[in-house]
Chains A and B, each alone.
Chain A
Amino acid sequence: MTNVHQFDVVVVGAGGAGLMAGLYASRGAKTAVISKLYPTRSHTGAAQGGISAAFGNTEEDHPEWHTYDSVKGSDYLGDQDAIEFMCNEAIDAVLELEHMGLPFDRTPEGRILQRNFGGHTNNITGKPVRRACHAADRTGHMILQTLYQQCLKNKVNFFDEYQALDLLLVNGKAAGVVAVELATGELHTFHAKAVIFATGGHGRIFEVTSNAYAYTGDGAAIVFRRGLPLEDMEFFQFHPTGIYKLGILITEGVRGEGGVLINGKGERFMPKYAPHVKDLASRDVVSRAIYTEIREGRGVNGQNYVYLDARPDSVMKYAAADGRTNSDGSPYTITAEELLKKLPDIVDFNRVYLGIDPMTQMMPIQPTAHYTMGGIPTNKFGEVVIDEKNTVYPGLYAAGECACVSIHGANRLGTNSLLDLVVFGKHAGLRAAEYANQADFANLPDDPTAEARAQFDGLRNGSGKENAFDISREMKKIMFDDVGIYRNEKGMKSAIEKIHEWQERFKHVRISDTGRIFNTELLNAWELGNMLEVSEVIAECALNRTESRGGHSREDFPNRDDVNWLKHTLALKKNGKIEISYKPVIITKYQPKERVY
């Protein structure tokens, strides 16, 4: 057998979670990080607004408030023990990033500067609290750079541009990963005692998305095909403010700095939907509000968009109306120069893609598919758990967006994703190294690359009647329209039928590139297979859940139903069919109540 590598721990994915896992695992065990991209290309780098920690650097704040806000934000579907764990770890996690050199913006006293973000509140007054630590509007970029740099410093082994294709499970234990080296087309087997998936999300199944091309659900699809469950896949977050049509993210930090949403009639509409925190309600609430405005004919020029207004005069006008103050109690003011300094990339994106200047013009925005709340079920140590009793699967770990701890439940609060990947990436890395040091290597299967080869052969030898690009386009449109922000039985049933049709058509795809070197056509087609796989799971789970909660909004079941649905969904593939079971939500301090912002 050629191309077999042996490591104690193999991490798949080199975004924030993968790098953090790699950094921690490599301190205690021989570790490799494999990634289909160069690490600095990972999607963590696109995160903009901040990472939350209840420092209280400019005003009172507490980890308990952060915990409650996240529980409420999750629409009570998040596991409260894990949320509390994350929010308590947040302060040390952000300090660790600072100690690694991350260039956070600073207060006049030299401490980490914090800004407002949706759903983060002072639990006594109910007003927004400054909890999001940031580096301008490129916080994710700085986290990604800093962690990659620290991995280089610590001599972590990287296998850049290696696409993971399969997970090897032998006798109920993780045994390794199969990957293709893009530069040569050769298959490699990574024999490991512990495998950590940190493969990100799958927003590319939707037509309008803020997500990178790389976000095709590879990790979730691989695990699912290997007979392990996925949790809460019906919950997908639509971020309220994507650039119209393009979906490019406009950070919630714009509203954190005082920007407001304006409909086609020139009205600020969020006070109708969230009387207390208005434009800083949680994302599911704001996205639905925008859609409701559009549906009721108050989009701009009858189109599917509204405006985000961050012009300094508007910001100050609405801040005065809201009684917003600086931390010293003085009225909130801001200049174009200050906004430009706080949000340089947002200004840049608007100029490049729309030809507008957000200091003098309003930004046309629409909700954009943004974040995968569901994923590979884990406990708070990053260990993959496979049933309603949370039985740990030996040697298998997941962290970051591909995992479902569940921290985010039915709706993630802004800034909690960066926190998630730092906290749980670290713990997955620690646990995996600890496990690897007392475990033996499982024997590899006789032919470890068989399944990966079979999948590639299928794409090389299809009848050629179908084109992957066309299937992909149809999928994105239908998933966005029928399994998107608003869902109903009729739309989802029809989407599921179509998904089955696409899966059939997919079997007839034949790629035209017969080469080995950087065969990106083969990889893109393989990724489409993953997207079809996760689309089916999402649609089936969404059809099954007959209530509305967080990011899952059923027109035919508009209310949350705690009696029947305060539980996690587990989807499993059995004999080619999706079977759904449930596991309880862990509730410690906070009993579910009505969610008002």
Chain B
Amino acid sequence: MQVTLKVFRYNPEVDKKGHYETYQLDVEETERILDLLELVKGHHDGTLSFRRSCAHGICGSDAMRINGRNMLACKTLVRDVGDKITVEPLLGLKIIKDLIVDMEPFFDNYKKILPYFINESPLPADGKERLQSPEQRARFDETTKCILCAACTTSCPSFWGSDDYLGPAALVTAHRFIFDSRDESASQRLKIISETSGLARCHTAYNCTMACPRDIHITKAIGELKLATLTGKVD
């Protein structure tokens, strides 16, 4: 089928500001938007720049705005979006070149919430695994799925309007550890996310949940964190 692909372009070494280029492509409706970008890069304009790696929605490299919504280019097919396709970089992060944005602020926020397992208690005497029931494991299952693609954080109006909001992705990771029965630093993390740049900035817009390519119910996870800060309970 014939599709019209409109792509945001910006080359910092040449352009003062961004513009759009339009490409007419003959593609299958089952092709990924990433396949279209590769086709443009291979045959129309080699300078088109974007990140990608796994090409099946698991590495988180190619989050971008497709027809106005944050999606992974490798997990969105032509038939999902129709024959008029506009591709733009994520909002709220500095555009470096074409579809590539500066991910450093995103990862800096991630690093603020102690994104690692903390348990300084002695290991079980038998040297084996720390026991965890299937129910305890299920408690934080969903938030372990996060691939740090930034689709959620860059869809959030509070993130756009703020210099220091941690953003949904960092909160998702906080949830993953706070509700892990084996982790011992829930109170420390709850303190961090209770500060002004944390939970208080979430106004329940649900954009993050809509944007998540891993189907994580982010708004619900953030709600559980809010409740935990009020009750001090993380069961």
Contacts and interface: CB of A to CB of B under 8 A. Distances in A.
Residue among B42, B77, B123, B177 with the most chain A CB within 10 A? Answer: B42
A149 B117 CA distance: 8
A135 B141 CA distance: 9
Interface of B: 11-14, 30, 41-43, 45-47, 49-61, 75, 77, 96-98, 100, 103, 107, 111, 115-119, 123, 127-134, 136-137, 140-141, 144-145, 147-148, 177, 180, 182-183, 215
Contacts of B137: 103-106
Given A38-B103, A212-B53, 5 more contacts: A142-B144, A149-B117, A150-B117, A472-B42, A518-B49
Contact of B56 (A41, A46, A136, A149): A46
A567 B147 CA distance: 42
Contact of B96 (A107, A145, A183): A183
Contacts of A41: 51, 53-54, 59-61
14 contacts: A41-B51, A42-B53, A42-B59, A45-B58, A95-B129, A105-B134, A108-B134, A150-B117, A212-B54, A213-B53, A246-B56, A467-B43, A468-B42, A469-B43
B53 to A, nearest CB: 4
Contact of A518 (B52, B77, B97, B147): B97
A513 B59 contact: no
Contacts of A126: none
Contact of B41 (A107, A109, A249, A521): A521
Contact of B144 (A135, A213, A520): A135
A110 B131 contact: yes
Contact of B49 (A104, A212, A349, A520): A520
B142 to A, nearest CB: 10
A445 interface: no
A95 B128 contact: yes
A101 B180 contact: yes
- Nearest first, the 8 A-B pairs at minimum CB distance are A101-B117, A469-B42, A110-B131, A149-B116, A153-B116, A513-B47, A521-B46, A512-B46
Q: How large is the interface on A (under 10, 10 to 19, 20 to 34, 35 or more residues)?
A: 35 or more
Interface in A205-235: 212-214
Contacts of B127: 95
B23 to A, nearest CB: 15
A469 B144 CA distance: 37
B28 to A, nearest CB: 10
B13 A517 contact: yes
A352 B57 contact: yes
B134 A98 contact: no
A43 B53 contact: yes
Contacts of B58: 45-46, 138, 141, 345
B59 A45 contact: yes
A520 B147 contact: no
A152 interface: yes
A136 B143 CA distance: 13
Contacts of A248: 55-56
Contacts of A469: 41-43
Contact of B130 (A98, A345, A472): A98
Given A142-B144, A150-B117, A512-B46, A103 B129 contact: no
A547 B61 CA distance: 41
A141 B97 contact: no
B34 to A, nearest CB: 9
B168 to A, nearest CB: 16
A99 interface: yes
A586 interface: no
A112 interface: yes
B144 A110 contact: no
Contacts of B56: 46, 246, 248-249, 349, 353
